[in-house]
Amino acid sequence: MDKDYQVLRFENKIKPKDIGGLGVELDARKGSGNYDKERTQFNIEYVGLDGHTNLKSKVYDTIYTNKIHFNKGDNTNLLNGCIVTSGPDFFKKLGLPMKDTGRTYIEGKHIGEPIYCPDLKSKDDIPEQVYKYFNESFNFLSNFVGKENVVYAAIHLDEDTPHMHFYFLPVVNSVQRKVFETDETGKRWCNIGDILEELPSGEYKYVGRKKRNFVSEVDNVYPEELEDLLVTIPEIREAVVTPISDEMLQYVPRYHISLYTDQIDITALEKRITDLVMLKLGPSWLPGSFDYSVEPLKRMANSKVDITYYMEKDRQDMEEQRLTHEQAVGLRLRRK
């Protein structure tokens, strides 16, 4: 392969701590590249910062404006990047004037060969074929990832090789983690924890769920794990966690807690609870609200905690206005 080729390179590991430095490089042109300030004026923006002071502000504003659910942890990949480019021979064939920089490649397959860069004196030096190449690349990528998810895109002509930076939010519309099981008839089923009743007609009726996990923001919350953690706090006799539906967060945990005594500083207790949950499980597991009692939790005939009772209690409390939706999810919303 000669130097006449196209490159499309993706990067999907841009975390919150990386965005600040990336933004400085893209906007202020400060970083590790060989920037020619005289050619910076010829750079072309497709999607810029749009009035934001920096890239990080643009990223978070786009996330919240588009009502995207995401994990707010430090290790979350908030941004994906793509670079579209080619070798100097390719751009020469498109009519872009190139000049010898006086430097040579010190590594790679072209080691020792001269490094060329665009030779631009005005925008008129940029041929139509170069615009067409990058325009078609931008349109293809925008349609591929969704135009609403693009936060920055620009052609940089002030470095050695012309290229386009294209950064976007790595949004997915659904997450599927399927585990297939085969029944005694050989039929394959997707085991998602649903309980079905087979009717005489051969159809199936949905009964409920065996698994109690639910999604809060973008994380799976497992109530049993959360309940086991809560009872490590000495003042808590037992606990049960129920999901409260929320349009923005999907579901928010509600903690039903049985205390040994009501002679307790609730404010201090709630701080200890949230600190512990945040440390051990993360922000998606934090409560939207608490429900306290000094009575043991309600149980079924088999002595297991009656989860249905507490879910029905939530429903009735909200239906009869003893508990508003804002009260049910308020603690989580106030953390935003």
Averaged pLDDT of the chain: 84
Reported as a single tens digit per residue, the pLDDT across 117-150 is: 999 999 999 999 999 999 999 999 998 888 999 9
Q: What is the pLDDT, as a whole number, of residue 116?
A: 93
Q: What is the pLDDT, as a whole number, of residue 211?
A: 63
Out of 90-104, 198-212, 230-244, 255-269, least confident range: 198-212
- H helix runs in the chain, sequence order: 16-23, 37-40, 55-65, 88-93, 128-145, 223-230, 266-280, 307-319, 325-333
Q: What is the pLDDT, as a whole number, of residue 2?
A: 45
Q: Could you give all domains of the chain from N- to C-terminal order, each with its CATH number?
A: 6-168 (3.30.930.30), 214-333 (3.30.300.30)
The shares of helix, strand and coil residues in the chain, as percent rounded to the nearest 5, are 30, 30, 40
- How far apart are alpha carbons 52 and 152 in whole angstroms? 12
Q: What is the pLDDT, as a whole number, of residue 176?
A: 42
Phi, then psi, of 263 in degrees rounded to 5: -85, 75
- How far apart are alpha carbons 218 and 333 in whole angstroms? 15
Contact of 167 with 199, CB cutoff 8 Å: no
Reported as a single tens digit per residue, the pLDDT across 2-50 is: 455 667 777 777 888 888 888 888 888 887 778 899 999 999 999 998 8
- How far apart are alpha carbons 211 and 194 in whole angstroms? 7
Greater confidence (8 vs 190) lies with 8
> Which residues are paired to 58 by β-bridges?
none
Out of 82-86, 216-220, 329-333, least confident range: 329-333
User: Which pLDDT band holds residue 171 (cuts at 50, 70, 90)?
Assistant: confident
Reported as a single tens digit per residue, the pLDDT across 194-253 is: 555 666 776 655 555 456 788 887 788 889 889 989 999 999 999 999 999 888 888 899
Q: What is the pLDDT, as a whole number, of residue 321?
A: 86
Taking each helix axis from N to C terminus, what angle separates 16-23 and 55-65, rounded to the nearest 10 degrees? 130
Nearest to 165 by CA among 95, 96, 79, 57: 79
Reported as a single tens digit per residue, the pLDDT across 146-165 is: 899 999 999 999 999 999 99
Characterize the bridge pairing of strands 250-259 and 289-293: parallel
Contact of 171 with 45, CB cutoff 8 Å: no
Q: What is the pLDDT, as a whole number, of residue 181?
A: 47
Reported as a single tens digit per residue, the pLDDT across 300-309 is: 887 888 999 9
